[in-house]
A = this chain, B = another copy of it.
Amino acid sequence: MKKLNYGMIGGGPGSFIGDAHRRAINLDGQAVLRAGCFSRTPEKCRQTGQELGISPDRCYTTYDEMAKAEAARGDGIDFAVVVTPNVSHYPICKAFLTAGIHVSCDKPLCLTVEQAEELCALADKKGLLFMVTYTYMGHVTAKHVRDVLASGELGAIRTVMAEYPQGWLAHADDWGGKQGQWRCDPAQSGGVNCLGDLGTHVENAVSMMTGLKIKRVLAKMDVVVPGRVLDDNDVVMVEYEGGATGVYWTSQFAIGHDNSLRVRIYCENGSLQWFQEEPEKVTIISRDGVSSELHRGYGAIKPGAAKYGRLPSGHPEGYLEAMANLYRSFIDCIRAKQDGTFAPDRIDYPTGYDGLQGVKFIHACLKSNREGNIWVTL
């Protein structure tokens, strides 16, 4: 099968997330990096391009120039990967969608609900695919949770306890104090820190797994570590349409947690536990209390989830495989677009609309917190 070509915006020297996207795409070898605007500094951009084997004439200094030039080439990129800081997601996505190029954008999608809605509408109008890389939902076990719940075998969902604590920013001077500094600047962050970074993952994970729609939220967003000006510990009470409830907790000073996205879902006839740091397994507890642990690769894993595995059970897959699974479906859909076989139910990755939900969630929480921890309807 012909490999697709892609370009990257962001991902210059020292970028963790750009590097992760490139490796994840490499894993399946279905797309090749051909163009980039890796940094606003021309030298850094050229340097990264050279290291990655990009032709110098396809190393661009501005995303705008890149979008136009690539759209004009016969062998231009099939899709663009946007891995810049949050504040620039909106104009960059807009530029590539306008130029008729499919877009994969890192989360959170953008700063305002209006921006997110505009991007979704633009992609729809142009008939373009628009992915937002909530990576964790690429895991086979996360998809299994989704499919078990969808099957109805555990009955209705009653309550969801979800959390994403981290401990790496427990002190103002952790990570050279940088984390404290740029998070002080609302212009760069959109006035939110921990809830934007981690809370959107929780919101998306629960949404993808359960299909529940949030009706309203009551949020408490605290600034705890001395020297910080934006939230670093957040608790959100949630009510979903249909009556189920949830609690989401995120923190950046919870020493002992690395990346501890954990979702527990309690249903009428059983419950489910999923933990991002142990993504090879999922625990399902039946009504009699007996707890069963399934591993990726087992026969009991639902087929719609199992098909994303690359290795037999017992050979751990991790974060890059989860991201590669998003790209697997995204690339599959691009190919279907190109050969005219695309249909919407082919999409098995988070879209701009999921990104939009994340932005709505953040803004409802900000309002709830601002007004004294009251209920705010989404």
A positions within 8 Å CB-CB of B: 1, 3, 16, 19-20, 22-23, 26-29, 51-53, 158-159, 161, 163, 166-167, 170-171, 218, 220, 222, 224, 233, 235, 237, 245, 247, 249, 251, 253-260, 266-271, 273, 276-280, 283, 285-295, 297-300, 310-321, 372-373, 375
CB distance from A310 to the nearest CB of B (A): 7
Are A291 and B289 in contact (CB-based, < 8 A)?
A: no
CA of A372 to CA of B297 in the docked complex: distance in angstroms? 39
Are B318 and A315 in contact (CB-based, < 8 A)?
A: yes
- Selected from B218, B233, B277, B291, the residue in CB contact (under 8 A) with A292 is B291
Give how many copies assemble into the complex: 4
* Chain B residues in 8 Å Cβ range of A320: 27, 310-311, 317, 320-321
Are B315 and A255 in contact (CB-based, < 8 A)?
A: no
* Chain B: CB-nearest residue to A291: B293
CA of A279 to CA of B320 in the docked complex: distance in angstroms? 15
Assuming the contacts A26-B27, A300-B290, asked whether A258 and B373 have C-beta atoms less than 8 A apart, the reply is no
Are A289 and B280 in contact (CB-based, < 8 A)?
A: no
* Chain B residues in 8 Å Cβ range of A52: 29
Are A1 and B51 in contact (CB-based, < 8 A)?
A: yes
CB distance from A206 to the nearest CB of B (A): 15
Are B53 and A3 in contact (CB-based, < 8 A)?
A: yes
CA of A53 to CA of B28 in the docked complex: distance in angstroms? 13
Given contacts A277-B316, A289-B298, A311-B318, 14 further A-B contacts (CB under 8 A): A20-B310, A170-B268, A247-B249, A255-B266, A255-B286, A256-B270, A259-B315, A276-B314, A280-B318, A290-B292, A290-B300, A311-B319, A315-B319, A318-B321
